[in-house]
Amino acid sequence: MSPASDLEAHYRAYISTLNKGDFDLLKEKYLASHILHTGRQLDPDGYCKLVWPHTTFEVDDLMTDVQDRKVASRLSITAGQRHLREIIFYEFDEQWRIYKAWSMVEELVNGIWGPVQ
């Protein structure tokens, strides 16, 4: 994978896999054997447990750096009545699997998830 469009397509396919809830494919194709997520070391099963049931992710903004194998994304996330936005940075290994993710959640007001606008 070399052009930025390929990395963008790879990332969007990862998000589509998340939206389908296909965690077997997620672990097989998109996740390294160890993922550092916002300072915590997780295995692929632990990473998948971070996703609430029936969650949908929509890419609002996306930046890719193919040379350094990095993605920065702003996501709108809906899980039932919960709505939030997340800014997340990913780093990919040589096999284009996520090995590092740093997440920052927006829209948390008074401990209650606010509506996505």
Confidence of residue 20 (pLDDT cuts 50, 70, 90): very high
How many structural domains compose the chain?
1
Q: Can you give the residue range of the structural domain that contains 98? A: 4-113
CA distances from 106 to 17, 79, 115 (A): 23, 15, 11
Task: Say how many C-beta atoms besides its own lie within 10 A of residue 64's C-beta.
Answer: 22
Please give the radius of gyration of the chain, using alpha carbons only, rounded to the nearest integer.
14
Closest CA to 7 of 83, 82, 86, 65: 65
Confidence of residue 113 (pLDDT cuts 50, 70, 90): low
Domain CATH number, residue 11: 3.10.450.50
Q: What is the pLDDT of residues 93-108, one digit of tens each?
A: 999 999 999 999 886 5
pLDDT at 115 over 90: no
pLDDT at 114 over 80: no
Using a cut of 0.85, tell me whether the model's pTM lies above it: yes
Which pLDDT does position 93 carry in this prediction? Answer: 96
Which percentage of the chain shows pLDDT scores above 70? 87
d(CA 6, CA 48): 24
- How many residues does the structure list for the chain? 117
Q: Which residue has the higher pLDDT, 112 or 40?
A: 40
